[in-house]
Amino acid sequence: MVWLGFAAMLLAALGFLGAVFFNKNLDHPDDLDSAEVVRQSNISSFRNRQTELDAQLASGDIDNLQYQGLLVEAQRSLLDDVAVVASNNASISGRWLLTSCGVLVIALASVLYYYLGAAADVEIRRGLEQVSDGPQPALTEQIRARLKQRPDNFFYWALLARFDHQDGKLADALQSYQRALMLSPEDNTIRSEYAQVLFIAAGSVVTEAVSAQVQQVLARDINDSSALGLRGIGFFAAGNYRAALADWQHALQSLPPRSEAAGAMRSGIAAAQARLGESGVGSVGVRARVALSEDLATILESAPETLVFIYVQEWQAMPMPMMARRVTVADLPLEIEFSNDQALMPGRDFSTVSKFEVVARVSHAGTPLPASGDYEGRHGPIELQGKTDAPGETQTFSLMIDRRLP
């Protein structure tokens, strides 16, 4: 359909130029010179625009689909400008005008022959806008076919890898992840996903290949929950339960509390504690029911992804969190537990402080540090019984976020 539209546009442009030729009047050299200047100016503007788009693509400001769409738009604009110049100078055009414009249209058609291949990209983009959960066989095949024409498209390799993984085609997914990483070896998200598929393909075993990928991911982002989870599985399988426990507790801090991943991480933590004979050690702690005030819930309804930091700190002491969790506004209200085994620093937990408080803060900047305009709630001071003896009882309380920081 795109090619039919383009063909119609070319025919219309050539028909218009032919009408200009067959209805021409006497030539006026001065006016012809002026028309030529305008035409060259339009071509120069097009080339400058193309250079700008090339620079934006190279710098990552736009992706390949956006680049192709904007370039085609610029080329069509140039065709329109050529037609306008011809119309404005119909009374002074001659054979040279028809010939030169015809050559220009043919040249542009040659250029557009390549770039209008972006029609396939447009179809893929439309398919992605309508994508739903589950296998996407038609879209997957579209992407696979497009990659035969554009094998250097990182975005398509990454999409193909994910779709093949969803379809259970692990071997194909691994190949696609490898191609994507060849094009963008610094992409930590894709490398983390690659490690997970390697793990699944190996029968849920942390092989040397999996460990190698995990190490690369954690070297760039020590908080990557997927990589921490995989490394913890490796430690657990090797009998290093203490290291597994540390990795899984670390990973849990960055996961949405109600997610399946968080549930799996808690199960792993419980298993590691049981192997260490510590199933009761972490039971000394607090459970907070965290919620937004009614007015604040209305204000933040349109910003569900805003980060919320919930943490425990010593009462009236240096504001250094002992335990912390990060959630979003969409997760509230929720119940959240803090216990000794979640301590951010060894030796700094409920057994080492006499009083503490729990703070929950909505951060507009997305950072742990408080800032003017953030919303906050506090509960304290709190004292725990059974801090150093056998398991103490978990205290439960409500924490309302209802105060705006000045």
Q: Say if 332 falls within a structural domain.
A: yes
User: Are 236 and 272 within one domain?
Assistant: yes
**Domain carrying residue 352:** 281-404
DSSP state of 331: G
Contacts of 309 (CB under 8 A, 6+ apart): 324, 325, 326, 359, 360, 361, 363, 368
Q: Say if 126 falls within a structural domain.
A: no
Q: Which one is predicted more confidently, 352 or 381?
A: 381
User: Are 242 and 263 within one domain?
Assistant: yes
142-154 pLDDT, tens digit per residue, is 888 888 888 888 8
Q: Which one is predicted more confidently, 117 or 210?
A: 210
Decide if pLDDT at 345 tops 80. Answer: no
Position 255 scores a pLDDT of: 86
| Range 131-143 average pLDDT | 70
| Range 276-295 average pLDDT | 75
Structural domains counted in the chain: 3
User: Are 257 and 326 within one domain?
Assistant: no
User: Are 257 and 301 within one domain?
Assistant: no
User: Are 336 and 379 within one domain?
Assistant: yes
User: Are 344 and 231 within one domain?
Assistant: no
| Range 202-212 average pLDDT | 90
CB 171 within 8 A of CB 202: no
User: Are 315 and 387 within one domain?
Assistant: yes
Q: Which one is predicted more confidently, 47 or 291?
A: 291
The CATH number linked to 255 is: 1.25.40.10
Average pLDDT, the chain: 77
| Range 126-155 average pLDDT | 75
| Range 285-303 average pLDDT | 91
Assign 292 a pLDDT band (cuts: 50, 70, 90). very high
Where are any strands of DSSP class E within 106-184? none
Domain end, chosen from 67, 87, 121, is at: 121
16-26 pLDDT, tens digit per residue, is 555 544 454 44
Q: Say if 127 falls within a structural domain.
A: no
Contacts of 143 (CB under 8 A, 6+ apart): 124, 156, 159, 160, 163
Position 143 scores a pLDDT of: 85
Q: What is the rounded distance in angstroms from the CA atom of residue 295 to the CA atom of residue 401?
A: 10
Domain end, chosen from 121, 144, 176, is at: 121
Region of poorest pLDDT, from 21-35, 123-137, 209-223, 310-324: 21-35
Position 403 scores a pLDDT of: 94
| Range 134-147 average pLDDT | 76
Decide if pLDDT at 304 tops 60. Answer: yes
User: Are 271 and 292 within one domain?
Assistant: no
| End-to-end CA separation in angstroms for the chain | 58
User: Are 94 and 138 within one domain?
Assistant: no
User: Are 113 and 152 within one domain?
Assistant: no
Decide if pLDDT at 271 tops 90. Answer: no
Position 162 scores a pLDDT of: 87
User: Are 270 and 286 within one domain?
Assistant: no
The CATH number linked to 338 is: 2.60.40
Domain end, chosen from 276, 296, 329, is at: 276
Among 257, 194, 254, 249, residue whose Cα is nearest residue 223:
254
Q: Say if 38 falls within a structural domain.
A: yes
Q: Say if 128 falls within a structural domain.
A: no
Any idea which residue has 């050539």 for tokens? 14
